[in-house]
Structure 1
Amino acid sequence: MFRTLELSERKTVLSFDSGCLVVSGNDDRGGYVLLDELDAVILMEPAVRISGVLLAELANRRIPLIVCDRRYLPSGLLCPLYREGREFFHVMEHQLRAAKPLRKRLWRSIVCAKIAGQSANLKVFRSDRSLERMSRLVCSGDSSNLEASAAHRYWSGLGLFPRRDRMADNANGMFNYVYTVLYAAVARRICSAGLNPHIGLHHRNQDNPFCLASDLMEPFRPYGDSVVLTLLRDDPDRWRLTPDRKAELMRGLHGIRLSCNGKSLGLFDAVGRMVISYKHALEKNDADLLILPRMLGDE
């Protein structure tokens, strides 16, 4: 069973010993992880220290090392230069050469999943079924731009922002916080899968180094929305984004269970599953290989 190791505590020291990644430096709390069990290592905290020997071993074993900045977005990627390092460029070639019909079918699937999630939120929080049919009307490449039409109907139906006042600004801050967490999570998984984050599917912007993250996070936005909407419903007088509120939002995100191809996964595991399936879809030129999240019971 391969796994991604994320390290977020300051003063952590990483080294190599007898085929293992050794974690130490935090109040005598440490551990060992077999390198053969890892598919990626992500340094969430820039203050983590790592030995040169471990860096070489990670490169030799084709295990990507992603370094994140203070916003938890990837700022660097260690990629092998020789032999197995060619896989990185092989994957990038598939991204660059993806045929337009494939890209359009993939984008249609992503938009359908996003609208289906928005429809579920409207039904749960406003007893509004106006978006139920729209996800089935999306054309290849969303040529009719139903994503934008659905978004307008979705936010109007939620009725959270009828005017620009302090309460609306505070609620908007909570949504933005959740989106930032999701965006960073998708960006990290993209890098750990060996995909080039700059090569987007639908978003194209030379000033955005994570165009692909902007694309692949879209189906997860409604699940982030549901966490915020639940807090606002349960405690309507506390809309300000405080540290305690952030902790509540993170607990809500970690508590979400989604169905991915018939398997129940946590939200962040579902992100990883979707990113890997996107890579496979490009390699096999088959949009049906993309595994998108759904609420449990909706399949």
Structure 2
Amino acid sequence: MSWRIIKIETSGKLSFQNNQLRYDNYVSQESLFFPTEDIAVLILESLQISLTSALISELSEKSVTIIFCNGKHRPVSVLSPIGKPFRQTETAFLQIGMTQSMCNRLWQRNIRQKILNQSFVLKSVSPETARLLKEISERRTIEENDVAESRAARIYWQNLFSESFVRHHEDATNAALDYGYAIIRNVLINRIAAHGLIPCLGIHHHSVLNNFNLADDLIEPYRPFIDRTVFLFPPQDDDILTKEMRERLISVLKAPCFIDGQKTIVLNAIDRTVCSFIKAIKEKNAEYFLFPEFIKDDE
């Protein structure tokens, strides 16, 4: 399985040569080579990078996530592959055929794991509050699930950062969170497309203005992995998302985690989550839907 995450932040040219990505750095005048079979994610931070169509075709064939950033280094676009025709048609019909009851059960499991992961993040801050979140995650009905998510979020943010913290305000902490979420969201978008799912058809998010409702559903249990990094390494500059901070957030893709009892990294867990979603709707059984869990300190 591909594993390499490449971030290009200096002007240059990317091309395909001898089954490798070739990067000609215009500043250092050096050329670097990376086997394309090793590449999982390619992040382009410079606005002065050119890519050949041969490279784009090769990376798309290998379902590599290619993320484009703007002048402020924030992800603004992702290049997604087209799923295999036989898989795409079959999977699309399964997705379209989801009942509301099935969507509710999938969403309930999704949010439960998100709150459990939030509880883990809070353990080092407030063990008592972490236990409270774990209790909240046990809500069983769909109605309780919606209330539980809202209540958990309010408790979580106030304890993780401060009582004055407000999500989506323009500050360094929110900028770091948004950057990290965008990286994971774009990888999800890529994997959703690669497996033939319909990106705009979610299980809970249904905005007609959002082409990626499903990614915004599946990302929920992954958000605490970004939150924990921002908490442990808080941004120091209110105006600039530093290179060091961006690299820390990108490295979350290689963070260890458990999924279905097996140790892996977040990058691979994302693919497992997407595949398990397909299996769950195919078997009409939400229990097949899998999510990442933090690895406890003693494991």
TM-score, structure 1 normalization: 0.77
Instruction: Tell me the alpha carbon deviations over residues 35-93 of structure 1, each in whole angstroms, 9 at most, x when there is no partner.
Output: xxx9x9766447321339x94x899xx7657664435465554537xxx5132122111
Pick from 182, 185, 189: which aligns with 1:183? 185
Offset, 1:32: 4.8
Q: Which residue of the partner structure matches residue 27 of structure 2?
A: none
Partner SS state of residue 112, structure 1: helix
Shift of residue 273, structure 1, vs aligned partner? 1.5
Q: 1:92 to 1:47 in 2, by over 3 A?
A: farther
1:218 to 199, 217, 220: 220
Residue 263 of structure 2: aligned partner: 264
Q: Is 286-295 or 240-249 further displaced after alignment?
A: 240-249
State the distance in 1 between where 2:136 and 2:197 align: 31
Counterpart amino acid of residue 124 in structure 1: S
- CA distance in structure 2 between the partners assigned to 1:126 and 1:252 by the alignment: 26
**Aligned CA distance change for structure 1 residues 43 and 226 (closer, same or farther; 3 Å):** closer
Which residue in 1 is equivalent to 2:139?
137
- Relative to 1, partners in 2 of residues 1:125 and 1:248: Cα closer, same or farther, differing over 3 Å? farther
Name the structure 2 match of 1:126: 126
Shift of 1:251: 6.1
- Return 5+ residue gaps in structure 2 as ranges: 25-29
In structure 1, what is the equivalent of residue 33 of structure 2? 30
| Cα distance, 1:227–1:284 mapped onto 2, change above 3 Å | same
Compared CA separation, residues 252 and 24, structure 1 to 2 (3 A): closer
Structure 1 gaps, min length 5: none
Q: Per the alignment, in what secondary structure is the counterpart of residue 156 of structure 1?
A: helix
Aligned-pair distance for 1:143? Answer: 5.2
Among 194, 197, 214, the residue aligned to 2:196: 194
Aligned residue for 2:174?
172
One-letter identity of the residue aligned with 2:271: G
Offset of 1:181 from its aligned partner? 2.0
C-alpha displacement at 1:126, in angstroms?
2.5
> Quick one: structure 1 residues 223 and 11, their matched pair in 2 at CA, closer, same or farther if it must change by over 3 Å?
same
Distance 1:181 1:150 in 2: 24
Letter matched to residue 291 of structure 1: L
TM-score, with structure 2 as normaliser? 0.77
Distance 1:91 1:255, change over 3 A: closer
CA distance in 2, matches of 1:33, 1:169: 37
User: CA separation in 1, counterparts of 2:292 and 2:59?
Assistant: 31
Q: Is the 8 A contact 2:4 2:41 kept in 1?
A: yes
For residue 25 of structure 1, report the CA deviation from its aligned partner.
4.7
Offset from partner CA, 1:211-269 (integer Å, 9 cap, x none) = 1111000001111111111113xx8xx25343244245326524531111111111222
Shift of residue 97, structure 1, vs aligned partner: 0.7
Q: State the secondary structure of the residue aligned to 1:136.
A: coil
Deviation readout 1:148-203 (Å, 9 max, x if unpaired): 11111212333525167xx9822222222222222222222222222221111100
**How many Å separate the matches in 2 of 1:134 and 1:119?**
10
Q: Secondary structure at the match of 1:47?
A: strand
Structure 2 counterpart of 1:90: 90
Q: Residues 7 and 118 from structure 1, CA distance in 2 versus in 1: closer, same or farther, beyond 3 angstroms?
A: closer
* Range with greater deviation from structure 2 (96-105 or 216-225): 96-105
Identity %: 21
**Contact map agreement 2:221 2:291 (CA 8 A) in 1:** yes
CA distance in 2, matches of 1:7, 1:188: 16
Residues 284 and 125 of structure 1: is their aligned pair in 2 closer, same or farther, counting only changes over 3 Å? Answer: same
Query: Letter of the aligned partner of 1:157 in structure 2?
Result: N
Q: Which amino acid aligns with 1:242?
A: L
Q: Could you tell me which amino acid in structure 2 is paired with residue 174 of structure 1?
A: A
Q: Are 1:285 and 2:284 matched, yes or no?
A: yes
Asked if 1:115 is matched to 2:115, the reply is yes
1:79 aligns with 2:82: yes
Query: What number of residue pairs does the alignment pair up?
Result: 277
